Structure 1
Amino acid sequence: MTNLFSSFDPTTNFNLSLNWMSSLLGLLIIPSSFWLIPARPTLLWINIINTLHKEFKILLNTNSKGTTLLFTSVLSLILFNNFLGLFPYIFTSTSHLTLTLTLALPLWVSFMIYGWMNNTIHMLAHLVPQGTPPALMPFMVCIETISNIIRPGTLAIRLTANMIAGHLLMTLLGNTGPTLSILTMNFLIITQIILLILESAVAMIQSYVFAVLSTLYSSEVN
């Protein structure tokens, strides 16, 4: 069973941990915006960024310029890493809590520090939802506090678990290939292609979910 999880092990035979290089490979894919006439991939990427900027601006409910750049950058980083993990022999860095917690924890901590320092009354009011009966107020404070504390964990674990689950399923199915007949092999290949399409969708959805939830958490403290 330990061999199944070997692709999620960041250790290498070299002194340098080259697996984490996959986190930087996305930089090679980002199209350059310095061309005189932008290429089609560049125009597509600019349109995606503009759409995300408009959506995050609505969610944030703030007029401060440049706030959406942080969340767009986080989405781009996770999206590239998720997609790179679908290529053979590339370590999926987003399937490791080291990376996902590194993204989620600083965001959450900075929101909490900003909220409690600038909007203390607003943050305290958030602990008791409107219309709560007086008898249930102590319990609601405990529940809201716990749900607030586990936010970075849920952000990180959701992304990690989704990336691991799909990759593991594809590995398990791929390992059964040599023992199958020609007819069953065709079904296996079709299933693997469908799974690959599904994983591509998961790669996009999970990066979007991470960015949107981070945006919503930041809008709560304002």
Structure 2
Amino acid sequence: MMTNLFSSFDPLSIINLSLNWISTMLGILFISWSFWMIPSRWNFLWMNIYSILHNEFKILIGSKIKGSTLTFISLFSIIVMNNILGLFPYIFTSTSHMVMTLSLAMPLWLSFMIFGWINNTNYMFEHLVPQGTPSILMPFMVCIETISNIIRPGTLAVRLAANMIAGHLLLTLLGNTGPSMSLIMINVLIMIQIMLLILELAVAIIQSYVFAILSTLYSSEVN
């Protein structure tokens, strides 16, 4: 039994060498071969996913900045691979840590804000007051919109990290009760764990899509 439930998220170290973030780059090992070998079903699957995401992001962003959808498709790929790899035993789940999620969300948000305030200053000021707002409520709406803009990277980071942590903690908590159960209950527990793993796989994909689509929506607001 673990003395601390959150110890499942502790970093792995060998000979005082931290191996935390090596798992973040493992996805590259699974991608690289597909670009050099004969196209396979795996390759066609990813190309179809990229095509679907490109069409969706293009509708939201528009055609003002060509190639901008590639940024968000890459963001989706990085997050979904780290989420799925984190479901395997003894692989460090980097997306369950705020260091990783904030490192993805903060630079995107800063770049959107800098781009918007430099190139579309009037539009950014207009966006602080929704259309049809009474004059007496305008100062309050400016404060609310400003706060909502400032907390966006935090909400993106917390949403992804919290969803990854919640599922992993539930799997760990149920797994630790196994040694004290009877044979029949262990079989039931295994079935529950399998269903939870399938649910976590769906959550891993959905949260990657949510992170990418929200980033796309934030970028479309500054154009």
Task: Please give the range of the TM-score, normalised by the shorter of the 2 chains.
Answer: over 0.9
Counterpart CA distance in 1 for 2:64 and 2:128 is 26
Instruction: Confirm whether residue 34 of structure 1 aligns to residue 21 of structure 2.
Output: no
Partner of 1:174: 175
Distance 2:135 2:96 in 1: 43
Question: Could you say if the C-alpha distance between residues 40 and 162 of structure 1 is closer, same or farther in structure 2, counting changes exceeding 3 Å?
Answer: same
**Structure 1 alignment gaps of length 5 or more:** none
TM-score by length of 1: 0.96
Map Cα deviations across residues 85-108 of structure 1 (whole Å, 9 max, x no partner). Answer: 000000000001111100000000
- Specify the alignment match of 2:92 in structure 1: 91
Match runs of 1:32-181 below 5 Å: 32-35=34-37, 37-181=38-182
Q: Percent identity?
A: 70
Aligned-pair CA distance for 1:32:
1.9
Contact 2:12–2:92, Cα closer than 8 Å, also in 1: no
SS of the residue corresponding to residue 16 of structure 2 reads coil
Q: Report the Cα offset of residue 62 of structure 1.
A: 2.4
- Give the C-alpha shift of residue 54 in structure 1: 0.8
User: Is 1:216–2:217 an aligned residue pair?
Assistant: yes
RMSD, aligned α-carbons: 1.3
With normalisation by structure 2, the TM-score equals 0.95
Q: Conserved in 1, the CA contact under 8 Å of 2:8 and 2:172?
A: no
Corresponding residue SS for 2:87: coil
Cα-to-partner distance string for 1:138-182 (whole Å, 9 max, x where unaligned): 111000000000000000010000000000000000000010111
Give 2:36's aligned amino acid: F
Tell me, in whole angstroms, the C-alpha distance in 2 between the residues paired with 1:60 and 1:159: 22
The aligned amino acid for 1:33 is: F
Q: What is the distance in 1 between the residues matched to 2:93 and 2:215?
A: 22
